[in-house]
Structure 1
Amino acid sequence: MQVHSLYVYPVKSLAGIQVSSFQMDDFGPVGDRRWMIVDSEREFVTQRSNPELATVRTRMEAGQVFVDIPGEGEFLLEPGTDECRVRVWRDWAKAVYGAPGASDALSRYCGQAFRFVYMPDETFRRVDASRVTEYRRVSFADGFPFLITNLASLEELNSRLDNAVDMRRFRPNIVVDGAAPWEEDAWASLVIGDTGFSVVKPCSRCVVTTVDPDRGAKSGDLQPLRELGTYRRTPDGVIFGMNAIHEAAGEIRVGSPVNFATTENQ
């Protein structure tokens, strides 16, 4: 097995960036989901309610994040000094508001009052303590630093669909090639390149998988979630991909070897 592709998402629920490699820090992939969008109640905003966010492109240059908002142009996201408490799922975390220009442009594009917020280094949002006993942190990602998916599982799903979908629907960080379909169900730990990962839980999927990432709209004829629900429903929900935490900082590249231990041989 080897790494097929890698993705980083500088802003939660905006378009991701496919990269040839990434560095890892305490949060996960460097720069991954350190930015987020909130509404007037400081609640997180995603493609679940606003699928048009998929068409807002992101790029990173020299550690800075830029967003390209359709009809508005490109903006540098700059953390301000005004602190706030923002909510992502059940967690309230300390953040800072971004400079207003990008937020105003995004609000015009979406027709709602939204703000960009940034998670500074001193914020510690803990991963789910019921799943990970270590005191580990996570950015604004849903719950864990990494989502790892299996290319063969997507191909098996696509064999059941009238119209194939691509992996961007599932917003992984690491895509593995060379495994059998659904082999990831048995993974307990992985070594990718030189870095160890603990596979924590299956990832339950939501309506974001029905959003066309190119059009920024929910698809009428492409329903991977509905099909997955016919044979991938578990106590954790309808699952595709595995959440994971990493053991150390380091670097992963496309083509890095992937080795695993299963629940049977640990």
Structure 2
Amino acid sequence: MGDSGLLSLPKGRPAWVVASALALVAALGVATAWRRRRARRALVRVGTVSGLFIYPVKSCRGVAVKQAEMTPLGLACGDLRDRHWLVIKEDGHKVTAREEPRMVLISLTCENGYLTLSAPEMKDLHVPAKLSPENPVQNCRVFGFDIQGRDCGEEAAQWITAFLNSHPYRLVHFELNMVPRNSKDIMEPFQPSDKIAYPDCSPVMVLSETSVEELNSRLEKEVQIRNFRPNIVVTGCGPHEEDTWDELVIGSAKMKSVMACPRCILTTVDPDTGIMDRKEPLDTLKSYRQCDPSEQHIYRSHPLFGWYFGVAKTGTLQVGDPVYKIIG
């Protein structure tokens, strides 16, 4: 045996033979180390998916689905894609339920290539999921960053404007050939690969049922999971256990933990009435869900509730799927 303990090399061999043998030894060592690292990494079940939600129009009511595709830009189900439609002012600036709380009363369905918007005392609005290329492309402004959207037409604009009854608004659609926003430009902890259409900053938000239950135990008037607009709801874990999950595997999709979800006044909008309370549950969350002082440059005074994830691997997931965290 030579010094490597793996190969002995007869004297007098050409230099290229020696070099090849040494390269083989190195490759074997790398492969062995890789296998050992893989062996140390394991899947541990931490819960079960109890709900999947897509919010096609930003700030409007979510759509509960049984199965979804995890795309690079978040959840999708058929023509429904998460936060791929946006209400804007005539100058292109985004409009959300922070400014127009009654947006949460607009519900959506999708069938036969049409997105149907419904709202109290309004006739249904039918918008093609795929718009004509003759519809103009609008330059939009979302949290200080530019992004495009194809205008959904005059009928949609009049419908949104009539329901909200405050300012002239338009509806636009992000198409997959358009350039998405970079999550990292908005919040530093994200990776350069994390991309979004019209969400605040993250392609995926995960929340556990028990986190909401613990919050409700502190409130005089209980709130719903819908107040927090998660994409993936998990049951079978402890309160705020989602804070500790680094990498998740659900179905054939894989996600990478990024940061906590900082909460704002939108959580105080009642999803059934569209009335903004401005106090709860935000005030109670501030009493026990503040960040560590070392992270105030990221979260400032926002309380933390739920967790943002980036998309590490696209795939399919469904309600009832086990949720695994990767350890090792």
* TM-score under structure 2 length normalisation: 0.76
Post-superposition, which runs of at least 4 consecutive aligned residues in structure 1 deviate over 3 A? none
When structure 1 is superposed on structure 2, of 189-198 and 156-165 the one drifting more is 189-198
**Other structure's SS at 1:53 match:** helix
Tell me the amino acid that sits aligned with residue 48 of structure 1: R
C-alpha deviation, 1:136, in angstroms: 3.3
Equivalent position of 2:168 in the other structure: 113
Q: Provide the rounded CA distance (Å) in 2 between the counterparts of 1:140 and 1:169.
A: 19
Q: CA deviation at 1:142?
A: 0.9
Amino acid at match of 1:61: E
1:99 equivalent to 2:156? Answer: no
Secondary structure at the aligned position of 1:217 is classed as coil
Q: In the alignment, is residue 128 of structure 1 matched against residue 184 of structure 2? A: yes
Change in Cα spacing, 1:36 to 1:248, as seen in structure 2 (3 Å) is: same
Alpha-carbon shift at residue 100 of structure 1 (Å): 1.3
Conservation of the 8 A alpha-carbon contact between 1:201 and 1:244: yes
CA distance in 1, matches of 2:287, 2:315: 38
**How do 1:50-129 and structure 2 match up within 5 A?**
50-78=100-128, 79-80=131-132, 81-111=135-165, 112-125=167-180, 126-129=182-185
Q: Which entry has the higher C-alpha Rg, 1 or 2?
A: 2
Q: CA deviation at 1:41?
A: 1.9
Query: In 2, are the aligned partners of 1:124 and 1:138 still within 8 Å (CA)?
Result: no
CA deviation string 1:210-247 (max 9, x = no partner): 11111111137x71111000010112221111111222
- Map of 2:199 onto structure 1: 141
Match of 1:248 in 2: 313
- 1:69 Cα deviation after fit: 2.9
RMSD: 1.6
Aligned partner letter, 2:55: Y
Return the alpha-carbon distance in structure 2 between the equivalents of residues 115 and 257 of structure 1: 40
Is the aligned partner of 1:42 residue 2:92?
yes
Deviations 1:166-206 (A, max 9, x none): 10000000001111111122221111122110011100011
The 3-state SS of whatever aligns with 1:109 is helix
- 1:171 alignment partner in structure 2: 229
Give the AA of the match of 1:121.
Answer: L
| Percent identity of paired positions between Structure 1 and Structure 2 | 30
Would you tell me which structure has more helix in proportion to its own residues? 2
For residues 19-70 of structure 1, give each alpha carbon's deviation from its aligned partner in whole angstroms, at most 9, with x where no partner exists. 1111222221121111000012211111101111111111122453211132
SS in 1 for 2:104: helix
Counterpart pick for 1:157 among 215, 224, 227: 215
Counterpart of 1:5 (choices 37, 47, 51) is 51
> How far did 1:134 drift?
3.5
Is 2:26 the counterpart of 1:26? no
Native 8 Å contact 2:71 2:311 kept in 1: no
1:259 matches 2:259? no
Q: Distance in 1 between matches of 2:315 and 2:254?
A: 10
